[in-house]
Structure 1
């Protein structure tokens, strides 16, 4: 009987450990820009709370294995402390996913958000609430958790991230409903802030960008190890979809975000194409992402 109970216990333990939360998130906090002297222990606690919040919250009802968790990073640079317990920060959010059949990880999201404003004290732990506002810091973290998950899902199934984007919008709406002056959540505050990132992803006119996320990754990068020419053809098709969006709505946040993540990788993948395709890729990329034209000239070498 004892052996049976032990067997059941270890089976349940194995089943539990094989299920994981969605994110594998690294958190780094830099305070070098702070003019004030601050207690380093406070920022250690801040980092630990953010780490636990991102990695221990169950964001969806989907079942993830440990090895399926989404690798992501938060680089938080504290820029000022307007008052005790109040902080301003620039934050870079990066997520990646593995390329099938390789050890390579491709960046999916790379975004620099300069509008983080939040309160934090050791005595008030971060709390997650699915349907209500608890704090701006919790909202910022929740928003990016859902954005990371949604964009990752879009790379595995066409428009697979829709539910996660809906949740990100819910987070945003809960913040705005508070009537507080928390920057980055409203349309009029900028053209590339959190509002525009998530509304771009839900805009029917911009759906070719989401389709491109799937084509680029699932039928492009994921077959590169065995069919590199198919990869290049499919990536060029994905870029043509983004070109349509760029011509319709130039300078959209999600298009800029795509190329911030992919410009270097595009050069590495497309420089192996046939000469005519290399020239076509260079001209296309120079049109839709002119700020990186010098980078894309590497395709022609």
Structure 2
């Protein structure tokens, strides 16, 4: 009895502490001219462990359900444990009924300066600001979880966006770039504020239509899935008309432009002239791609 109970307790402990991410972290220090310093590799491992070994939610996930993400930290200057850097964060989740994945988040953050000493432990505490490095990484993990949740249920990521908001509020005490309302329209503050704003509710609803009603049904009904993706883009056009040039719209098309081009170019023919007009209006940066769509 005792052995059986111990085994069950161990099993459920494993389930309770399942991690949510498969993260790959790259630290590039070429611009510093000091690439042989071991601290850069130590930083790379420490950030990857923070992401992959931390328990961010109460969910129990199989390996194939975990969110793949890539973190690129580009260090332009390093001196006395002070890092001047940028960070690019990309994430994807599986597409139902297929062996492929779909990008759900892609953003480059230029407001990423931090202190880190070699072998310094990186631990996330929701009630404490320990460092700009930990807060920034944790903020993006919860933001990714929020985006992922929004793709599976209408506004399904709200709890995670709220958790990211707690990080914003706690980190503001540092006065660091990216956390304050004065940090600009491409900041972490603005990203989170928009995600929690009623002005962008339809944006988040479009994420559900695009992914759950669109991509996830294409394995059994390509035409319906394709039509839903068109519907989602038209929803995004409405949001963009009311709130143009938002960080959310920019990050969406940075992540999705190739996928949209491929989806609209293949499969059953549907009327795409209106959606092409919408794409050129919302994301003119990608007009060369939109012009290659042939349905």
TM-score under structure 2 normalisation? Answer: 0.93
How many angstroms does 1:278 deviate by?
2.6
Within 5 Å, give how 1:264-275 maps onto structure 2.
264-272=258-266
Mapped contact 1:271–1:299 kept (Cα < 8 A): yes
How many angstroms does 1:18 deviate by?
4.3
> SS where residue 60 of structure 1 aligns?
coil
Counterpart Cα distance in 1 of 2:246 and 2:112: 21
Counterpart Cα distance in 2 of 1:291 and 1:112: 16
Mapped contact 2:15–2:60 kept (Cα < 8 A): no
1:96 to 88, 92, 97: 92
Counterpart Cα distance in 2 of 1:160 and 1:85: 39
User: May I ask how many residue pairs the two structures share in their alignment?
Assistant: 294
Q: 1:177 to 1:76 in 2, by over 3 A?
A: same
Over 3 Å off, 4+ runs: 4-19, 273-276
How many angstroms does 1:170 deviate by?
0.9
Residue 22 of structure 1 corresponds to: 20
Residue 170 of structure 2 corresponds to: 174
> SS where residue 122 of structure 1 aligns?
coil
Residue 85 of structure 1 corresponds to: 81
Residues 99-154 of structure 1, C-alpha deviations (whole Å, 9 max, x = no match): 00101100000111111100000253112211111111110111001101111011
Mapped contact 2:186–2:247 kept (Cα < 8 A): yes
Counterpart Cα distance in 2 of 1:88 and 1:152: 30
Counterpart Cα distance in 2 of 1:150 and 1:246: 21
Residue 71 of structure 1 corresponds to: 68
How many angstroms does 1:242 deviate by?
0.7
Residue 152 of structure 2 corresponds to: 156
Counterpart Cα distance in 2 of 1:103 and 1:97: 11
Mapped contact 2:85–2:110 kept (Cα < 8 A): yes
Within 5 Å, give how 1:250-265 maps onto structure 2.
250-265=244-259
Residues 197-225 of structure 1, C-alpha deviations (whole Å, 9 max, x = no match): 11111110111110011010000000111
2:183 aligned with 1:212, yes or no? no
1:109 to 100, 105, 112: 105
Unaligned runs of 5+ in 1: none
2:196 to 194, 202, 208: 202
Counterpart Cα distance in 2 of 1:210 and 1:184: 22
Mapped contact 1:75–1:91 kept (Cα < 8 A): yes
> SS where residue 40 of structure 2 aligns?
helix
Q: 1:72 to 1:46 in 2, by over 3 A?
A: same
Counterpart Cα distance in 1 of 2:81 and 2:168: 23
RMSD after superposition: 1.8
How many angstroms does 1:66 deviate by?
3.3
Residue 54 of structure 2 corresponds to: 57
Q: 1:40 to 1:10 in 2, by over 3 A?
A: farther
Mapped contact 1:232–1:270 kept (Cα < 8 A): yes
How many angstroms does 1:39 deviate by?
5.0
